[in-house]
Amino acid sequence: MASSIINFLSPNAVILDLRAANKQSLLHALSEQASASTKLPAETIFAELSKRENLGSTGMGEGVAIPHATYSGLSTTFGLVARVKPPVDFEAIDGKPVDLVFLLLTPASGEKTHLNALAAISRRLRNREITEKLRTSADAAAFYNLMVDEKRCA
């Protein structure tokens, strides 16, 4: 069953023009934001994201990264999306810096949900028309609508 981004990304989980010095500080900032919404400790989120990044960068190229992890203490899938300015080195597969980051956290028991959510995010962020509009979006509401409107630029 396909997953829809609107099911795990809320309008208040959009951060525009987040500043970070490097990949680690970006993951810290995202962990802090996710902690406020999920009530998971930021240190735990950061540790799990770092563990996943140690397996290989989640920078998928073209300025996009999808850091993700699963948690036993999480009851529902959670997404957070950020536009990063200036872009940061994320050790992406194409070597390009990252300016669009989608953080995905899923319950440990939901492997299929995790994979379906990753696929939905990846499909959306591989669409160049979408990513160009996200990079120039004037406000968080427009950015959110671009992320969740599956009819637009599908």
Using one digit for the tens of pLDDT, what is the confidence trace for 84-126? 999 999 999 999 999 999 999 999 887 788 899 999 999 999 9
From 28, 68, 83, 124, active-site residue: 68
Question: What pLDDT is stored for residue 14 in this prediction?
Answer: 97
Q: Are strands 68-71 and 14-18 parallel, antiparallel or unpaired?
A: unpaired
Q: Does 152 reside within a domain?
A: no
| Full domain range(s) for residue 104 | 11-143
Overall number of domains in the chain: 1
Is the pLDDT at 6 greater than 90? The verdict is yes
Q: Does 5 reside within a domain?
A: no
Give me the torsion for CA of 6, 37, 49, 68, rounded to 10°: -10
Active site residue 114: no
Q: Residue 32 is part of a domain; what is its CATH number?
A: 3.40.930.10
Is the pLDDT at 154 greater than 70? The verdict is no
Q: Does 3 reside within a domain?
A: no
Question: What pLDDT is stored for residue 1 in this prediction?
Answer: 43
